[in-house]
Amino acid sequence: MIGRAVRRFLLAAFTLLLATTLLYLAIRMVPGTPWGDDPATPAARIEEWTTRYHLDKGFADGYLRWVLAILRGDLGESYVVARGERVAALIAGRLPVSLALGLLGFCSALTAATLLAFAAARRPGGSLDHLGSALLYALHAAPTFWIAMLLQDLLALRLGWLPALGSGPAEASLKAGMPAILARIPYWILPPACLALGSLAFLFRFTRASLLDGVRSPHVRAARARGIPEPILLRRHAFSATRIDLVTLLGTLAPAVISGSIIIEKIFALPGLGQLFFLAAGGRDYPVVMGVGLVLAIVSVIGSALADLLYLAVEPRLRGRARAGAHP
């Protein structure tokens, strides 16, 4: 188990190294400097900055400098988006918004998918099952940004039930107490809900299939023969295996949540990491792109590593197989 964990985290480290190398390669591949397009910046200033940030040297030099700085805990300073500001401070300022959006969206997707899957699995092939599956099938094909814009148009612009943009009144910090927090709640309904809709169909389909597998398994049939009522069969006996399957999904969904929140942050004008990444990529702000990219990669990679290990922890049968090196 410990050996497996070590190996899993070595893979995570390898993925991070690969991702950051490719990221650095991608941004340095483009000729010119980040300030090249700006006619207001004198050439001498551009030259000074280029030397100061070591952009006149090669790719390997720059990447090594970045890695060494990271190991010292230094993410560098922004070139373009907020010139001179520390990247770490920029990220720290935006992380809460993205974390709140991601976690709220993820939890609501998981809850809604599980509840819907239970409703559908109660009578497989029934009208509720068919209707739900068909609707979610259509939802899976529709682009998230479109669904989000339709809901924004309907609920915020036409009906006026919820605010259309932003993360709430700026003065409403945690220090301002309960009323300030309450004032923010309406702003935090639509964006997480739209993010959740992006992965809802996928989660539902998976959970439903796993539940139905469970219902057909011998231990559930034996329990049914003992006269245990259907709802309890589903909730206790069939779900025990589904719970394990769900664990593996949680980690693999991290990249989907990250991709989704870039779009949701854009539509609802939320000042999160996705928006920062978008700005930095457009402005060729290397340190910011690298810093945010690192955070996003860490979330994705750690997510899937933890899910794998958690899977081993809750599914003892796999441990022996993992040792034997069996194939998936």
Partner 1 sequence: MNRTAALGLSLLAALTIASILAPLATSIEILDSPFSMDLKRRLLPPGAENLMGTDELGRDVLARILHGSRTSLLVAFVATGVALAIGVPAGALAGARGGLWDLILTRLMEATAGLPALPILLLVVSLTLGGESGEGAAALIVLAGAIGITRWAAIARYVRGGVWRAQVEEYATAALALGASRSRLLFRHLLPGALAPAMVSAAFGAGSAVLLESALSFLGLGTQAPSPSWGKMVAAAVAEPGAWWLLVAPGASIAVLVLGFNLLAEGIRLRDRAPDGWSRPD
Tell me whether residue 141 or residue 324 sits nearer to partner 1 (CB atom): 141
Contacting partner 1 (CB under 8 A), which of 50, 86, 206, 322? 206
* Rg of the chain (C-alpha set): 24
Q: Do residues 268 and 191 lie in contact, with contact meaning Cβ atoms separated by under 8 Å? A: yes
Tokens of 128: 């509720």
Q: Report the C-alpha gap between 89 and 278 in whole angstroms.
A: 17
Which of the residues 239 through 268 are near partner 1 (CB under 8 A)? 252-256, 258-260, 262-263, 266
| Residue 30 beta carbon to partner 1: minimum distance, rounded to whole angstroms | 5
Q: Which of 101, 204, 205, 197 is nearest to 146 (CA)?
A: 197
Q: Do residues 87 and 288 lie in contact, with contact meaning Cβ atoms separated by under 8 Å? A: yes
User: What is the residue whose two structure tokens read 């993820």?
Assistant: 106
Confirm or reject binding of residue 23 to partner 1 (CB under 8 A).
yes
Contacting partner 1 (CB under 8 A), which of 4, 5, 9, 11? 11
Tell me whether residue 233 or residue 276 sits nearer to partner 1 (CB atom): 276
3-class DSSP string for 50-90: HHHCCCCCCHHHHHHHHHHHHHCCCCCECCCCCCCCEHHHH
All residues at 6 or more sequence positions from 184 whose CB lies less than 8 Å from its CB, including other chains = 167, 168, 169, 172
**Span from 13-21, 59-67, 212-220, 226-234 in contact with partner 1 (CB under 8 A):** 13-21
Taking CA atoms, 325 is separated from 3, 245, 308, 318, in Å, by: 13, 21, 15, 10
Confirm or reject binding of residue 289 to partner 1 (CB under 8 A).
yes
Q: Report the C-alpha gap between 154 and 58 in whole angstroms.
A: 52
Confirm or reject binding of residue 27 to partner 1 (CB under 8 A).
yes
Confirm or reject binding of residue 133 to partner 1 (CB under 8 A).
no
Tokens of 57: 């040297």
Confirm or reject binding of residue 115 to partner 1 (CB under 8 A).
no
- For CA atoms 160, 165, 169, 175, the dihedral sign is positive
| Residue 112 beta carbon to partner 1: minimum distance, rounded to whole angstroms | 14
Cβ-based neighbour number of residue 73 at 10 Å: 7
Site string for partner 1, 158-177 (x = CB under 8 A): --------------------
Q: Report the C-alpha gap between 166 and 168 in whole angstroms.
A: 6
Confirm or reject binding of residue 117 to partner 1 (CB under 8 A).
no
Tell me whether residue 18 or residue 222 sits nearer to partner 1 (CB atom): 18
Q: Do residues 74 and 286 lie in contact, with contact meaning Cβ atoms separated by under 8 Å? A: no
| Residue 258 beta carbon to partner 1: minimum distance, rounded to whole angstroms | 4
Contacting partner 1 (CB under 8 A), which of 14, 92, 123, 222? 14
Q: Do residues 202 and 174 lie in contact, with contact meaning Cβ atoms separated by under 8 Å? A: no
Which of the residues 48 through 107 are near partner 1 (CB under 8 A)? none
| Residue 67 beta carbon to partner 1: minimum distance, rounded to whole angstroms | 17
Please count the residues of this chain forming the interface with partner 1, following the rule CB under 8 A. 57
Tell me whether residue 114 or residue 210 sits nearer to partner 1 (CB atom): 210
The contact set with partner 1 (CB under 8 A) reads 11, 14-15, 18-19, 23, 26-27, 29-30, 137-138, 140-147, 149-150, 153, 157, 198-199, 201-202, 205-206, 209, 252-256, 258-260, 262-263, 266, 274, 277-278, 281-282, 284, 289, 293, 296-297, 300-301, 304, 327-328
